[in-house]
């Protein structure tokens, strides 16, 4: 496994280097918020959850073993925290959120392509985001977690298995079932000609 | 391998994700070459993955994202950190007192069933119990080390004076 610079920062933090912890937050805090937002569909709440995750990380740093990738450790804390949050149930009745107008939060300029989207493209993207959010809300929680980790975080099946504390065959099944559900739900958005 | 007898449905997502072992990948691709139904299902999944890739970027945090976290960190974390730092630096120092705390808690249960004389004994250690209750109410007591810390909160406070 290639050296993990984030693991080195965690080790430095374990030794008392608070600046190393801040560097980890600067590297991963925004991505953690985006991850949490996949579960709660509320940017303000997602920020609080991301803060919770890093506070837990701060408290539990002593349990981190440098043999594990830092992101695996972080995703494990974040996934458990987000699943606990959605188990509270209040999100299931929440209306679908328009990611642009819901609280005025702008789209992340760092993640946009080189040119601005046209109004038509933006409207289409927002409608697609609503359908994906509705799909995620319907998925069983284990499928939802595996799907988010695979599709939006780009984790390989082996790392998802580490995060969820399960086996690779189980992850394969979870991701497949969720993706089949996505194929059904996103049929109207699927353009023809995507074949190989 | 298959959900439907003789087909490869369950492997199609992993195939598109590049997550199948080589031998199984070859087996699935050979099946696809001769099965229009499985090819159609593969293409349907591939179109969904393509649609997902066109999602807009997630909402950006409001300005001051890092500063808000650092402010919360300053409010909620330093106390835990500094105490744990001291613990990890001198672990043996806490061993004997933590045993004392455990004994006190056991004694506390026994005292509740005893007479007023024992209540007075409990009162002598009320500050210790208050420490425990106060910290427990913050959900900060999660490990045996945390219990050790509680038993010495007063010492830590004296050390700061």
Query: With an 8 Å Cβ cutoff, is B89 touching chain A?
Result: no
Per CB-CB distance under 8 Å, the chain B contacts of A134 are none
- Closest C-alpha to A160, from A174, A152, A150: A150
Phi, psi of B109 (to 5 degrees): -65, -40
Please tell me the predicted confidence (pLDDT) of residue B86.
47
For the stretch B98-131, what's the b/e string if a residue is b when 16 or more beta carbons lie within 10 angstroms of its beta carbon?
Answer: beebeebeeebeebeeeeeeeeeebeebeebbeb
- Residues of A in Cβ contact (< 8 Å) with B65: 29-30, 33, 47
**In this complex, which of B54, B62, B77 lies closest to A105 when CB atoms are compared?**
B62
Work out the minimum CA distance from A176 to partner chain B, whole angstroms: 5
Dump pLDDT digits (tens) for B36-71: 999 999 999 999 999 999 898 888 999 999 999 999
* pLDDT number for residue A1: 59
Regions of chain A where pLDDT drops below 70? 1-2, 90-116, 191-196
Distances from the Cα of A27 to the Cα of A35, A129, A135, A193, angstroms: 14, 25, 29, 38
Q: What's residue B150's pLDDT?
A: 54
pLDDT at B136: 52
Ordered by start, the domain boundaries in chain A are 1-94
A149 to each of A9, A34, A92, A119, A168, how far by Cα in Å? 23, 12, 20, 30, 13
pLDDT at B139: 53
Is CATH 1.10.340.70 what the domain over A1-94 is classified as, yes or no?
no
Beta bridge partners of residue B57, listed in sequence order: none
Cβ atoms of A68 and B85 closer than 8 Å:
no
- The answer to whether the beta carbons of residues B148 and B87 sit under 8 Å apart is yes
The predicted structure's pLDDT at residue A57 = 95
Tell me the ipTM for this assembly. 0.81
Q: Which residue has the tokens 């609503």?
A: A130
B11-31 pLDDT, tens digit per residue, is 999 999 999 999 999 999 999
| Chain A interface test: which of B28, B59, B61, B76 (most A C-beta within 10 Å) | B59
The string of pLDDT tens digits covering residues B109-156 is 554 544 444 443 444 444 454 455 555 545 555 565 655 555 555 555
Higher pLDDT, B82 or B148: B148
| For residue B160, pLDDT beyond 60 | no
Contact at 8 Å (CB) between B66 and A136? no
Q: Which residue has the higher pLDDT, A72 or B81?
A: A72
pLDDT, position B80 = 52
* pLDDT score recorded for residue A84: 94
d(CA B42, CA B15) in angstroms, rounded, equals 9
């Amino acid at each position: 496994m290639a050296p993990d610079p984030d693991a080195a920062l965690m080790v430095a933090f374990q030794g008392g280097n608070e600046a190393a912890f801040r560097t980890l937050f600067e590297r991963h805090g925004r991505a953690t918020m985006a991850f949490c937002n996949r579960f709660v569909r509320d940017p303000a709440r997602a920020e609080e959850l991301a803060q919770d995750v890093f506070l837990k990380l701060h408290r539990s740093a002593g349990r981190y073993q440098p043999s594990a990738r830092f992101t695996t450790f972080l995703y494990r804390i974040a996934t458990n925290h987000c699943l606990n949050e959605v188990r509270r149930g209040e999100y299931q009745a929440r209306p679908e959120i328009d990611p642009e107008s819901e609280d005025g939060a702008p789209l992340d300029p760092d993640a946009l392509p080189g040119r601005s989207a046209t109004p038509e493209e933006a409207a289409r993207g927002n409608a697609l985001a609503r359908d994906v959010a509705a799909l995620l809300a319907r998925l069983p929680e284990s499928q939802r977690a595996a799907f988010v980790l695979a599709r939006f975080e780009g984790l390989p099946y082996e790392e998802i298995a580490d995060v969820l504390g399960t086996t690779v065959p189980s992850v394969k099944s979870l991701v497949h079932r969720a993706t089949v559900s996505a194929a059904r739900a996103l049929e109207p958005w699927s353009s023809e000609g995507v074949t190989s | 391998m298959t959900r439907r007898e003789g087909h490869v449905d369950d492997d199609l997502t992993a195939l598109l994700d590049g997550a199948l072992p080589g031998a199984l990948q070859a087996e699935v691709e050979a099946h696809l070459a001769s099965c229009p139904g499985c090819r159609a299902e593969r293409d349907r999944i591939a179109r969904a993955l393509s649609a997902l890739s066109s999602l807009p970027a997630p909402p950006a945090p409001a300005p001051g994202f890092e500063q808000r976290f650092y402010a919360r960190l300053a409010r909620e974390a330093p106390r835990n950190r500094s105490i744990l730092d001291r613990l990890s630096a001198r672990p043996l120092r806490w061993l004997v007192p933590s045993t004392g705390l455990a004994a006190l808690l056991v004694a506390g249960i026994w005292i509740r069933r005893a007479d007023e004389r024992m209540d007075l004994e409990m009162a002598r250690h009320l500050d210790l119990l208050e420490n425990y209750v106060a910290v427990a109410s913050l959900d900060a007591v999660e490990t045996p080390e945390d219990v050790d810390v509680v038993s010495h909160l007063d010492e830590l406070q004296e050390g700061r004076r």
